[in-house]
Chains A and B, each alone.
Chain A
Amino acid sequence: MDLSAINPILLLASLMVAATPILLAAIGELVVERAGVLNLGVEGMMITGAICGFIIAVATGSPWLGFIGAAIGGAMLSLLFGVLTQFLLSNQVATGLALTLFGLGLSALMGQGYLGIRAPSFPDWHIPLLGDIPVIGPIVFQHDPMVYIGLLIVASVWFFLNRTRGGLILRAVGENHDAAHALGYHVRRTRMLAIMFGGACAGLGGAYLSLVRVPQWTEGMTAGAGWIALAIVVFASWKPGRLVLGAYLFGGVTVLQLNLQAAGVAVPVEYLSMSPYLATIAVLVIMSAGRAPGSLGRIFHAAR
């Protein structure tokens, strides 16, 4: 065992990278759930985004175009969920689970010819001045742009939900869809847009895995990240600020336990592997006090 092999600065720096895919997927799902829709297909949309982004990035050589493709891919898949649940009034839980299975299969099919290829490199940003600050610089300000875009999306979602009329309407639709309909708001339209935003964010999260974190394509590479994102949304009480905390906590413990494994700590690997899940759930359960949006998961039918 050699704990001195763990570099605390590198550890903290990789925390932000490890948390980003979950953060992206979770912030999308948060918006979907605040609009009153429970989409359990996050895992499927993530992996579809991962392969879509990978294919486009390899084909064009541009990771940026890859991310855009991933967002579109995730949104397209979520559109399927949206049409099924909002217009054909199918059960949201069953449809979401089916979406996950479908996404896993679809991505495996699309990724046939892409196994073992490396993604085009996505260089880290070395933010001038800020990146030069000792200790803090390498931890916070020397990452790839998607880390910051993820945080920017979270901040924008917070602002949208709490400070804009559109966000108020979205929350109203999620809180009581019958009342929102009676006041003349378009419940389906709002929800479809929220679902597509959620799909796009999940796609970005998936592409972050295949283009930055790994960075290559393997089948089933999301390995449950979508489910963690779903859990974090609930335990964060549907609040963007807590979502960041939950995602970073999860990312942090993941990186720490990997380092501990590498350092050969005398704890069975299985316990180390489960530690991020336990720590995240424990902390967020203790903190959670919020209540779910009133119409979450309920089917809206305008005639009633």
Chain B
Amino acid sequence: MSETLLTLDGLTKAYPGVVANKDVSFSIERGEIHALLGENGAGKSTLVKSIYGLVKPDSGTMTLNGVPFAPGEPGDARKAGVAMVFQHFSLFDAMSVAENIVLGMDNPPSPRAIAGEVRRVSHLYGLPLDPDRIVGDLSAGERQRVEIIRCLLQDPKLLIMDEPTSVLTPQEVDILFLTLRKLAAEGTSILYISHKLGEIAALCDNATVLRLGQVVATCDPRQTAPREMAELMVGTVLQSPVRTARPEGPIRLALKGLSAPAPQRFGTALKDVTITVRAGEVLGIGGVAGNGQDELIAALSGEMPVASAMVELDGTPIGADAVNARRAAGLLCAPEERLGHAAAPDMTLTENALLTGVRRKHLEQRGFLRWPAATAFAKEIIEAFDVRTPGPGNTARSLSGGNLQKFVIGREIMQNPSVLVVNQPTWGVDASAAAAIRQALLTLADEGAAVIVISQDLDELMEVSDRFCALTDGRLSPARPARGLSVEDIGMMLGGAHDLEVAHVAT
């Protein structure tokens, strides 16, 4: 069994100005589930792209099955038995499941045969899929199944999975893990990329930790404490967010039977969402993407006006008010998508600070902008939230994900909101920036604001929220105190895994 499948020896890849991988060496055994751990920007993606033939390393060698392996393009890698499930799905929305799968194969059988094959393999691994459906209509979990089935149909020797669980419910994650263990037991090696340490401890046999493009450690994740691995990844000692006990404040925001039709095709209608949030409280709203998160934040921010009485801020109905009126009243939102929604990518940080702060920070006078005040505001945000950038004159696009996220969250917090709603505040953000953002949210609540955190990262919600509720198909569950909730409880609340089944393969 313990026979080496893939060996990496001294892989180095440099881009102009940055070394993505520096002298990376490790090996993967046959049937092993090997974790590749690291922060964003640690070089994980570049490394797996080298293995998959998308990137040509500057130096170093790879050996697959004892034979030198240097794929010039993904087709070569696939022929050699390497398959990859991408982080940002490499799917084509307007095409059917079967067409998507055919595109990932080098010698596809006839269209009719492929449909049967998809049904057979998807049933075998407990990942039901209808080959005729259009991918654009599928949920995130189903889309991932398309990617996995596409790989499995090629009978891979090595399956690379890049952050596969970020869009799944806990139950879906369990089923995915069963499938992966099944594959490993059949002799397939799996290279599993993640920064979720709990998952890695549960699933993987070995872990290689990358930091700034270099291997800093190799460990057995089942024997190593998650905290220790996290510190290996980050390179510093991590601070857990501190929360102080807070007295119950007055009700700040009340949603009363908030219902709204889906604003667009493929959207979710909000159904009778009722909840109150008090001053000094953090309410966590969990749920798998596409269950009404975007619509909820649109209804709160004012992008999608609803009936006036459905949203009350400090006792005043504001459901029909426009975005700026709500901002003026103290209800601020930071939407999920950093580039394009929360920030205008090609405008400078000063301009972006102006865009939401103009009203509350008085950055305008009789129709003229007060540039010095705007620049000062942007500088203030950069300083207070440790945004790494040469200055406020840089464009939003030039910032890394974590830094821009700190900027857009900081921008709202610095406006001293009475209610702050954030969606996915730490999505795709490295651990230290994520910790800083969470701490800032807690501090804001300590100072008397009501905070709503919408997120798909349950660990994050457990860390920051006082009360937790789940958003499923546009309905909000009753809130429960977050302390003492187990992962199973949350899974039941999310209840999203009903169409999944456990793998049918006999062990």
Contact = CB atoms under 8 A, between A and B. Distances in A.
A149 interface: no
Given A182-B90, A294-B93, A169 B74 contact: no
A1 interface: no
Nearest to B53: A184
Interface string A174-202: 01101111111100000000000000000
Nearest to A173: B92
B54 A176 contact: no
Contact of A169 (B73, B90, B103): B103
A182 B75 contact: no
Given A168-B103, A172-B103, A294-B94, A182 B54 contact: yes
B102 interface: yes
A188 to B, nearest CB: 13
B74 A182 contact: yes
B91 A179 contact: yes
7 contacts: A168-B102, A179-B89, A179-B91, A180-B92, A182-B86, A184-B54, A184-B74
Contacts of A175: 92-95
B324 to A, nearest CB: 32
Contact of B95 (A165, A171, A185): A171
A183 B90 contact: yes
For B74, B99, B103, B108, the residue with the greatest tally of chain A CB atoms inside 10 Å of its CB is: B103
Contacts of B99: 168
B104 interface: yes
Contacts of A294: 92-94
A165 B105 CA distance: 11
Contact of B94 (A183, A185, A291): A291
B78 to A, nearest CB: 8
A77 B95 CA distance: 32
A169 to B, nearest CB: 7
Interface string B113-136: 000000000000000000000000
Interface of B: 53-54, 73-75, 78, 86, 88-95, 99, 102-104, 108
Main secondary structure of the interface of B (DSSP, over half): loop
B93 A183 contact: no
A168 B78 CA distance: 19
Given A168-B102, A169-B103, A184 B93 contact: no
Contact of A172 (B53, B88, B92): B92
Sorting the interface of chain A by its residue count into under 10, 10 to 19, 20 to 34 or 35 or more gives 10 to 19
A23 B138 CA distance: 36
A179 B73 CA distance: 14
A182 B53 CA distance: 9
A172 B104 contact: no
Contact of A184 (B73, B86, B94): B73
B378 to A, nearest CB: 26
Given A165-B108, A179-B91, A180-B92, 18 more contacts: A168-B99, A169-B103, A172-B92, A172-B95, A172-B103, A175-B93, A175-B94, A176-B93, A178-B90, A182-B86, A183-B74, A183-B103, A183-B104, A184-B73, A184-B78, A185-B103, A293-B94, A294-B93
Nearest to B84: A182
Nearest to B150: A183
Contacts of B91: 176, 179
B75 to A, nearest CB: 5
B90 A179 contact: yes
Given A168-B102, A184-B73, A176 B92 contact: yes
Interface string A37-70: 0000000000000000000000000000000000
A184 B75 contact: yes
Contacts of A178: 88, 90
A291 B78 CA distance: 32
Sorted nearest first, the 3 A-B pairs with minimum C-beta distance are A184-B74, A179-B90, A175-B92
Contacts of A291: 94
Contacts of B86: 179, 182
A178 B49 CA distance: 14
A168 B101 CA distance: 11
Contacts of B92: 171-172, 175-176, 179-180, 294
Contacts of B104: 183
A183 B78 CA distance: 10
A63 to B, nearest CB: 40
Nearest to A186: B73
Nearest to B54: A182
Nearest to B15: A303
A172 B63 CA distance: 32
Interface string A267-297: 0000000000000000000000001011000
Contacts of A165: 102, 108
A180 B91 CA distance: 8
A185 B105 CA distance: 11
Nearest to B108: A165
Nearest to B90: A179
Nearest to A163: B111
Contacts of B95: 171-172, 175
Contacts of A180: 92, 103
Contacts of B53: 184
A171 B91 CA distance: 12
Contacts of B94: 175, 291, 293-294
Interface string A12-54: 0000000000000000000000000000000000000000000
A169 B103 CA distance: 7
Nearest to B104: A183
Contacts of A293: 94
Nearest to B74: A184
Nearest to A302: B54
For A175, A181, A185, A294, the residue with the greatest tally of chain B CB atoms inside 10 Å of its CB is: A175
Nearest to A185: B103
A165 B54 CA distance: 22
A176 B108 CA distance: 20
A175 B53 CA distance: 22
A183 B82 CA distance: 12
A179 B92 CA distance: 7
